[in-house]
Amino acid sequence: MPPLRATAIAHPNIALIKYWGNRDDALRLPAAGSLSVNLAELETVTTVEFDAALTDDMVTVDGSAQADAVCQRVSAHLDLVRNQAGLKLRARVCSRNNFPMSAGLASSASAFAALTLAGAQAAGLSLTPQALSALARRGSGSACRSIPGGFVEWEAGSEDRDSFAFSIAPPQHWALVDVIALVSRSPKAVGSAEGHTLARTSPLHAAYLASAPGRLQRCRAALLNRDFALLADAVEADSNLMHAVMMTSAPPLFYWEPDTLRVMKAVRAWREAGLAVCYTVDAGPNVHCLCPTGAAAEVARRLSADLGVSQVLTATPGGGARLTDTPID
Ligand code: DP6
């Protein structure tokens, strides 16, 4: 008999080289590889409990019962777990985040990583780290990168089984800090699932993909050699190009707010004046300012005092998804 109940913790990750666009939307097979780092201070904790008394899956996030669209996406993911485990029971899913959802802070990554690990454990599945990462990918592409720890690469792969993420360096490899300028807390209008399907409508998408392996290679080398100048160059180029694809798809997607651009320009000016910092922006308006630990306090101070950013979060490289004995109720 499987344990039927399990709880897992996962961190969101910030992509240094982004995932934007799929080769296969249904399987979430990406069009290119990506690189990320997990964010230790931000976390999702999820309990999955399979229960014979339930007729439907029930999903609660941060104390609120979720709308149909969220429940359906979670149920579809649990179906993959149930099919692999030969289990028919419905589940109660209870999840908590210590950061705002759907605001470009990658809550779907930590959400589906925690759901996958808790669901697989509760259903009695015994999966390799690679199989667990590939399974998390089916729920949300970037979730596969929240299964391993530290600095993580997701190789695009060619089919379901070989498209998974793995750690290229542990969290303590490089004391980088992500100083996050929260310029807006409102949920984004167009989610990334829909955005990925639009990527191919941009005339820039082909150029983005053709140049992606080179950027990934430069970024990987920068990380492994702790070369901040090279990292800044690759990370900003990749973020800019992804947003160029977004802005030129049909319909176009504009995730930046005026404050997003203001922070991006300030970060470049600060770097030119000698402060080691660079930016990257996901599918939302908030700006992730990456810097070595020594620069973090000054970056946070300038964001608040000079630019008037009302909320600044700080996160350091984090570990992978893990089980815990403390359930969410
Ligand atoms: C801009 O993994 O959230 O954050 O698979 O549809 O859930 P779904 O998409 P998701 O896309 C992430 C997009 C991104 C870039 C990245 O994290 O690589």
282 lines ligand 1 (CB under 6 A): yes
What's the pLDDT band for 190 if we cut at 50, 70, 90?
confident
In tens, the pLDDT along 25-59 reads 999 999 999 999 999 999 999 999 999 999 999 99
Q: Please report the pLDDT score of residue 187 as a whole number.
A: 66
Length of the chain: 329
Q: Which atom of ligand 1 is nearest to the CA of 104?
A: 4
Per-residue pLDDT, averaged over 302-308, amounts to: 98
111, with CB counted inside 10 A (0-12, 13-18, 19+), is buried
Q: Which domains does the chain have, with CATH numbers?
A: 4-171 (3.30.230.10), 173-315 (3.30.70.890)
In tens, the pLDDT along 98-157 reads 986 655 566 799 999 999 999 999 999 999 999 999 999 999 999 999 999 999 999 999
Q: How far is it, in rounded angstroms, from Cα 310 to Cα 180?
A: 11
The fraction of the chain above a pLDDT of 70, given in percent, is 97
Per-residue pLDDT, averaged over 241-254, amounts to: 97
Given a contact cutoff of 8 angstroms between Cβ atoms, the answer to whether 95 and 111 are in contact is yes
107 lines ligand 1 (CB under 6 A): no
167 lines ligand 1 (CB under 6 A): no
Per-residue pLDDT, averaged over 285-309, amounts to: 97
| Centroid of ligand 1 to alpha carbon of 1 (angstroms) | 35
Q: How far is it, in rounded angstroms, from Cα 310 to Cα 308?
A: 6
Q: Please report the pLDDT score of residue 21 as a whole number.
A: 95
186 vs 162, more confident: 162
In tens, the pLDDT along 268-290 reads 999 999 999 999 999 999 999 99
Regarding pTM above 0.95, the answer is yes
